[in-house]
């Protein structure tokens, strides 16, 4: 049996777009004499559709698309993911399902059993779990269909009480087919492959796996669809961060030569590629074309500009330099040099005059009080005001340039430098920002080296440095990583050797600044634990504050 794998960049709720891509892949598979073509989890609707699933009209459109797709399945079969209605009177209203289409109609529907409800997943909010296990008999083969998480309950640390493949294996299938929506983080590829190979080893069956690719707001999907034979040999591996299509022959897979497993790129290269895809898809799927950002001469805005240019093209990104009376000459020069290196249009708009106007307006109320964070934030908010004015006037989308370290401890100004339609670096720690800048400069100087080597500064008061307010970033980032990603408490961190006063101060900053993170733009997710939908913390709380 020849099986085509269609790795597609879907668009949530864009039924016409998704349907066209699915139909194109079916026709291509027909031309290449495939017997079956496999698509990803919730392919028809896109993943994750979230509360769109609560609208009858949305579900109706899924069924309309499926019926049109089924008509194309003449001389070929397809497995397509879609939400379906639960006809029963008990349980949730919907299932997360895989449709088996053949001979121009829906032949069978197979539901997802294990519904993840952790981190970025909340499938049990919408879907009922499957309790009936059936296989598909097609062209002399028995197909065991599972959906993403259904294969993940394996190994020593089991999250669920049941295992779908333990039930399906009793029906003596010939192949496992898993349709997935497995999001990217820089650890995902290794974990995902380990799980898939463990299933092959346990059940002694070949496995065909099809994943999503592309960005859905902050969630990034890296693709990497693959096929493994029953001996645990990798027979096919698809590209990452781009659409792909290919065919495997079940018979030939068992004797096919080993496909060399790709050499996994270093972490920073993966994150780089993911962010570029994330920016590109965010703009493309929303119908935006042009971005704007404040270019300070610092490392964060420099890196954001480079990534935006790679994603959108240099003619579609506009840089705005907003020097204050505290900005250093070298920062302005660094920003200009970068804009010139990238051939990006830029403007210089000094903010000293509007700042003086605010200072004059507030003088009667601030009389006799020292310059402090209020005046610093006024400058940041003037910059935010100017950038949003340009965004409104010219239709640009403002890119936020704050990094994860700053977002964690609240080192940013609401309605100022925390403005934006998309946070590019909100899941990238400061030390990773430096690492990615060096990665970008690995062949030639793109980001001025002075931008990378000078001490970070917000330049909102004379001779200001980030280290005046925060521990050195190598220490800060490690504490943040251990607390946020590893969920280690203060006593554990102190036992690891970190200074007790620093630990308590940093954890207090993280928790007391939750209110700020509630008001930030969506952050492209590249780590196993990102701010946003995957990390849900109360604001009015006293833990570690």
**Tokens standing for residue 60:** 């109706």
- The Cα–Cα gap between 251 and 443 comes to 45
As a whole number of Å, the end-to-end CA separation of the chain is 61
Tokens 């299933």 map to which residue?
199
Question: b/e map of 483-501 (b: 16 or more CB within 10 Å)?
Answer: bbbeebebeebeeeebeee
Give long-range contacts, CB 8 A cutoff, 24+ apart: 345-348: 345/315, 345/318, 345/319, 346/295, 346/318, 346/319, 346/320, 346/321, 347/318, 347/319, 347/320, 347/321, 348/321, 348/323
Angle between helices 373-394 and 352-366 (to 10 degrees): 130
Only one residue has tokens 């949530």, namely 12
User: What is the set of active-site residues?
Assistant: 41, 112, 148
Tell me the C-alpha distance between 324 and 62, whole Å.
Answer: 53
Which residue spans within 19-76 are E strands per DSSP?
36-38
Picking from 225, 261, 259, the residue whose alpha carbon sits closest to that of residue 5 is 225
Q: Encoding tokens for residue 282?
A: 């965010």
Residue 325, judged by CB atoms within 10 A of its CB (0-12, 13-18, 19+), counts as middle
Report how far residue 188's alpha carbon sits from residue 193's, in angstroms, rounded to the nearest whole number: 8
Distance CA 505, CA 482 (A): 15
Q: Half-sphere exposure of residue 220, counting CA atoms within 13 Å on the CB side?
A: 33
* Secondary-structure percent of the chain, ordered helix, strand, coil, rounded to 5: 40, 20, 40
H or E, element range at 496? none
| 442-448: long-range contacts, CB 8 A cutoff, minimum separation 24 | 445/341, 446/306, 446/338, 446/341, 446/342, 447/299, 447/302, 447/303, 447/306, 447/338, 447/341, 448/302, 448/334, 448/337, 448/338, 448/341
**Strand (E) or helix (H) holding 456:** none
Return the structure tokens found at 360: 């004059």
């Amino acid at each position: 049996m020849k099986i085509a794998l269609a790795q597609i960049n879907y668009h949530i709720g864009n039924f016409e777009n998704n349907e066209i891509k699915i139909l194109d892949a079916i026709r291509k598979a027909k031309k290449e004499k495939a017997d079956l073509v496999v698509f990803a989890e919730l392919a028809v609707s896109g993943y994750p559709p979230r509360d769109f699933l609560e609208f009858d009209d949305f579900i109706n459109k899924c069924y309309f698309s499926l019926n049109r797709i089924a008509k194309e399945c003449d001389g070929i079969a397809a497995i397509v993911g879609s939400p379906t209605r639960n006809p029963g009177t008990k349980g949730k209203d919907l299932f997360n399902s895989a449709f088996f289409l053949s001979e121009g109609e829906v032949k069978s529907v197979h539901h997802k059993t294990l519904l993840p409800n952790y981190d970025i997943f909340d499938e049990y909010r919408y879907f009922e779990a499957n309790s009936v296990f059936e296989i598909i008999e097609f062209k002399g083969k028995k197909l065991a269909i599972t959906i993403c998480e259904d294969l993940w309950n394996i190994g020593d640390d089991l999250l669920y009480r049941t295992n779908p493949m333990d039930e399906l294996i009793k029906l003596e299938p010939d192949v496992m087919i898993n349709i997935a929506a497995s999001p990217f983080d820089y650890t995902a590829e290794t974990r995902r492959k380990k799980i898939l190979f463990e299933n092959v080893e346990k059940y002694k069956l070949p496995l065909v796996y099809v994943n999503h690719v592309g960005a859905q707001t902050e969630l990034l999907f890296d693709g990497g669809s693959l096929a493994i034979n029953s001996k645990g040999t990798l027979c096919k591996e698809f590209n990452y961060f781009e659409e792909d299509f290919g065919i495997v022959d079940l018979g030939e897979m068992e004797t096919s030569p080993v496909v060399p497993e790709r050499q996994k790129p270093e972490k920073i290269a993966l994150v780089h590629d993911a962010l570029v895809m994330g920016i590109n898809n965010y703009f493309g799927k929303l119908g935006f074309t042009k971005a704007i950002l404040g270019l300070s001469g610092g490392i964060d805005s420099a890196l954001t500009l480079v990534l935006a240019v790679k994603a959108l093209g240099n003619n579609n990104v506009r840089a705005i330099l907003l020097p204050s009376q505290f900005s250093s000459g070298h920062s302005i020069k660094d920003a200009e040099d970068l804009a010139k290196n990238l051939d990006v249009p830029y403007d210089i708009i000094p903010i000293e005059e509007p700042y003086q106007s605010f200072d004059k307006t507030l003088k009667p109320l601030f009389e006799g009080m020292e310059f402090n964070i209020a005046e610093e934030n006024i400058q940041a908010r003037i910059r935010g005001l100017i950038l949003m004015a340009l965004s409104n006037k010219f239709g640009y989308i403002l890119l936020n340039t704050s990094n994860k370290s700053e977002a964690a401890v609240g080192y940013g100004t609401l309605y100022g430098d925390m403005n934006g339609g998309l946070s590019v670096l909100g899941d990238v720690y400061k030390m990773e920002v430096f690492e990615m800048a060096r990665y970008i400069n690995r062949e030639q100087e793109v980001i001025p080296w002075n931008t990378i080597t000078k001490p970070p500064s917000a330049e909102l008061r004379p001779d200001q440095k980030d280290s005046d307010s925060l521990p050195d970033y190598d220490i800060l980032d490690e504490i943040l990583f251990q607390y946020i990603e590893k969920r280690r408490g203060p006593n554990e961190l102190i036992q690891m050797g970190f200074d007790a006063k620093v630990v308590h101060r940093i954890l207090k900053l993280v928790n007391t600044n939750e209110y700020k993170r509630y008001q930030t733009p969506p952050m492209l997710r590249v780590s196993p634990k990102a701010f946003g939908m995957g990390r849900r913390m109360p604001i009015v709380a006293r833990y570690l504050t």
